[in-house]
Amino acid sequence: KEVETKQTSPTNSHFTLYKTKTNSFKMAYNKKSVASHCTAFKSIYSTCLLLFSIVLVTGLQFTNQTGLAQKAHPAVAFVVLWALLIWLSMVEGGQASLVGLAPVQNDIYAQTHELSYKSTAITNKGDNLDRYLMGRQFMVIFIVFLINMSGA
Protein backbone atom coordinates (compact mmCIF):
# COMPACT_ATOMS: atom_id res chain seq x y z
CA LYS A 1 0.00 0.00 0.00
CA GLU A 2 1.29 3.46 -0.82
CA VAL A 3 -0.05 5.20 2.29
CA GLU A 4 2.67 6.45 4.59
CA THR A 5 0.89 8.59 7.17
CA LYS A 6 -2.74 9.22 8.03
CA GLN A 7 -4.08 12.39 9.63
CA THR A 8 -7.60 13.65 10.21
CA SER A 9 -8.09 17.18 8.96
CA PRO A 10 -8.19 19.58 11.94
CA THR A 11 -10.72 21.87 10.28
CA ASN A 12 -13.06 19.22 8.91
CA SER A 13 -13.62 15.86 10.57
CA HIS A 14 -15.38 14.53 7.46
CA PHE A 15 -12.07 14.04 5.68
CA THR A 16 -8.82 12.22 6.33
CA LEU A 17 -5.55 13.28 4.68
CA TYR A 18 -3.19 10.59 3.45
CA LYS A 19 0.42 11.37 2.64
CA THR A 20 1.73 9.00 0.00
CA LYS A 21 5.27 7.78 -0.54
CA THR A 22 5.61 10.21 -3.45
CA ASN A 23 5.01 13.15 -1.06
CA SER A 24 1.60 13.91 -2.52
CA PHE A 25 -1.60 14.11 -0.53
CA LYS A 26 -4.88 12.31 -1.01
CA MET A 27 -8.08 13.09 0.81
CA ALA A 28 -10.68 10.47 1.74
CA TYR A 29 -14.20 10.99 3.01
CA ASN A 30 -15.10 9.50 6.42
CA LYS A 31 -18.41 7.81 5.69
CA LYS A 32 -19.18 6.78 9.27
CA SER A 33 -19.20 10.20 10.91
CA VAL A 34 -22.42 11.52 12.44
CA ALA A 35 -21.89 14.79 10.63
CA SER A 36 -22.19 13.01 7.28
CA HIS A 37 -25.77 12.07 8.18
CA CYS A 38 -26.51 15.69 9.02
CA THR A 39 -24.92 16.75 5.75
CA ALA A 40 -27.05 14.24 3.85
CA PHE A 41 -30.19 15.51 5.57
CA LYS A 42 -29.29 19.14 4.81
CA SER A 43 -28.60 18.26 1.17
CA ILE A 44 -31.93 16.46 0.74
CA TYR A 45 -33.85 19.17 2.58
CA SER A 46 -32.27 22.01 0.59
CA THR A 47 -32.86 20.15 -2.69
CA CYS A 48 -36.54 19.77 -1.81
CA LEU A 49 -36.77 23.50 -1.02
CA LEU A 50 -35.03 24.34 -4.29
CA LEU A 51 -37.43 22.18 -6.30
CA PHE A 52 -40.39 23.72 -4.46
CA SER A 53 -39.11 27.21 -5.30
CA ILE A 54 -38.61 26.32 -8.97
CA VAL A 55 -42.14 24.93 -9.23
CA LEU A 56 -43.57 27.95 -7.41
CA VAL A 57 -41.81 30.59 -9.54
CA THR A 58 -42.52 28.70 -12.77
CA GLY A 59 -46.17 28.44 -11.79
CA LEU A 60 -46.29 32.16 -11.08
CA GLN A 61 -44.70 32.89 -14.45
CA PHE A 62 -47.13 30.74 -16.43
CA THR A 63 -50.14 32.25 -14.64
CA ASN A 64 -48.94 35.77 -15.55
CA GLN A 65 -48.21 36.79 -11.96
CA THR A 66 -44.67 38.07 -12.52
CA GLY A 67 -43.69 41.43 -13.97
CA LEU A 68 -42.18 40.15 -17.21
CA ALA A 69 -44.85 37.48 -17.73
CA GLN A 70 -47.53 40.17 -17.59
CA LYS A 71 -45.79 42.32 -20.21
CA ALA A 72 -44.59 39.49 -22.48
CA HIS A 73 -45.38 35.82 -22.99
CA PRO A 74 -44.77 33.59 -19.93
CA ALA A 75 -42.37 31.44 -21.96
CA VAL A 76 -40.22 34.53 -22.51
CA ALA A 77 -40.13 35.18 -18.78
CA PHE A 78 -39.18 31.53 -18.16
CA VAL A 79 -36.34 31.55 -20.72
CA VAL A 80 -35.06 34.94 -19.58
CA LEU A 81 -35.04 33.85 -15.93
CA TRP A 82 -33.04 30.69 -16.61
CA ALA A 83 -30.65 32.44 -18.99
CA LEU A 84 -29.97 35.08 -16.34
CA LEU A 85 -29.51 32.50 -13.59
CA ILE A 86 -26.98 30.61 -15.71
CA TRP A 87 -25.21 33.88 -16.57
CA LEU A 88 -25.10 34.87 -12.89
CA SER A 89 -23.62 31.50 -11.91
CA MET A 90 -20.90 31.91 -14.55
CA VAL A 91 -20.12 35.44 -13.37
CA GLU A 92 -19.88 34.32 -9.74
CA GLY A 93 -17.84 31.23 -10.61
CA GLY A 94 -15.45 33.24 -12.74
CA GLN A 95 -14.96 35.75 -9.96
CA ALA A 96 -14.23 33.02 -7.42
CA SER A 97 -11.75 31.39 -9.79
CA LEU A 98 -9.90 34.58 -10.63
CA VAL A 99 -9.66 35.70 -7.01
CA GLY A 100 -8.66 32.20 -5.90
CA LEU A 101 -5.95 31.90 -8.53
CA ALA A 102 -4.51 35.39 -7.94
CA PRO A 103 -1.93 34.31 -5.32
CA VAL A 104 -0.97 31.14 -7.24
CA GLN A 105 1.94 31.30 -9.67
CA ASN A 106 0.40 30.74 -13.07
CA ASP A 107 3.42 28.74 -14.28
CA ILE A 108 2.08 25.81 -12.26
CA TYR A 109 -0.99 25.36 -14.48
CA ALA A 110 0.29 26.82 -17.75
CA GLN A 111 0.55 23.44 -19.47
CA THR A 112 -2.48 21.72 -17.99
CA HIS A 113 -5.03 24.56 -17.99
CA GLU A 114 -4.15 26.82 -20.90
CA LEU A 115 -7.35 28.88 -20.88
CA SER A 116 -6.99 29.60 -17.16
CA TYR A 117 -3.39 30.56 -17.75
CA LYS A 118 -4.36 33.01 -20.50
CA SER A 119 -7.15 34.51 -18.40
CA THR A 120 -5.03 35.00 -15.28
CA ALA A 121 -2.15 36.39 -17.33
CA ILE A 122 -4.45 39.26 -18.27
CA THR A 123 -6.25 39.74 -14.95
CA ASN A 124 -3.16 39.53 -12.75
CA LYS A 125 -1.37 42.43 -14.50
CA GLY A 126 -1.49 45.68 -12.58
CA ASP A 127 -4.87 46.55 -11.15
CA ASN A 128 -6.90 44.62 -13.74
CA LEU A 129 -8.36 42.25 -11.14
CA ASP A 130 -9.61 45.13 -9.00
CA ARG A 131 -11.17 46.81 -12.02
CA TYR A 132 -12.79 43.52 -13.08
CA LEU A 133 -14.25 43.05 -9.59
CA MET A 134 -15.71 46.57 -9.59
CA GLY A 135 -17.29 46.11 -13.03
CA ARG A 136 -18.53 42.68 -12.04
CA GLN A 137 -20.44 44.22 -9.12
CA PHE A 138 -22.40 46.45 -11.49
CA MET A 139 -23.09 43.51 -13.79
CA VAL A 140 -24.35 41.40 -10.87
CA ILE A 141 -26.69 44.23 -9.81
CA PHE A 142 -28.02 44.44 -13.38
CA ILE A 143 -28.52 40.65 -13.64
CA VAL A 144 -30.25 40.39 -10.26
CA PHE A 145 -32.52 43.32 -11.18
CA LEU A 146 -33.56 41.51 -14.37
CA ILE A 147 -34.03 38.23 -12.48
CA ASN A 148 -36.35 40.10 -10.14
CA MET A 149 -38.34 41.42 -13.08
CA SER A 150 -38.77 38.03 -14.69
CA GLY A 151 -39.32 35.91 -11.58
CA ALA A 152 -41.08 38.13 -9.05
What is the spatial distance between Cα 152 and Cα 144, in angstroms, rounded to a whole number?
Answer: 11
User: Quick one: pLDDT at residue 38?
Assistant: 85
pLDDT digits (tens, 9 = 90+) for 8-45: 545 555 556 566 666 666 666 556 666 678 888 999 99
- Alpha-carbon separation of residue 23 from 2, 4, 16, 106 (angstroms): 10, 9, 16, 22
Output b/e per residue, 31-46; b: 16+ Cβ within 10 A. Answer: eeeeeeeeeeeeeeee
Contact status, residue 25 vs residue 18, Cβ threshold 8 Å:
yes
Residues of the chain short of pLDDT 70, as ranges, are: 1-35
Compute φ and ψ for 140, nearest 5 degrees.
-65, -40
